[in-house]
Amino acid sequence: MYHKLAGIADKGYDSDECRKALMAKGTTPCIPPRKGRRPPAQLCKTTYKQRHRVEIVFARLKDRRRVATRYDRCAHTFFAAVLIAAIIICRI
């Protein structure tokens, strides 16, 4: 079964350029409209609720000191630290 991709973002990314770029890549923009936007953009609230899960994962990753302060100089070493932290978070 094919699921349509959705680009989920917050109000800071509510611009016509961002929406057009997402649609050009074949994704549906799921961005809440800024206050005073004319005309107000459509928002799928059930899809936007999934953004909360991603924010929780980022918050838990930043709880890890090594990931939050980035002691590693090399990108691949830092990526390994992020992967280890993600594995620990998913197991708990």
Neighbours of 34 (CB within 10 A): 13
- pLDDT tens-digit profile of 3-42? 578 888 888 888 889 989 988 999 888 888 888 888 877 7
pLDDT at 2 over 70: no
pLDDT at 57 over 50: yes
Mean pLDDT of the chain: 85
**What's this model's pTM, rounded to 2 decimal places?**
0.61
3-state secondary structure (DSSP) of residue 39: coil
Q: What is the pLDDT of residue 75?
A: 92
Q: What is the pLDDT of residue 3?
A: 57
From the CA atom positions of the chain, what is the Rg in Å? 17
What is the pLDDT confidence band of residue 92, given thresholds at 50, 70 and 90?
low
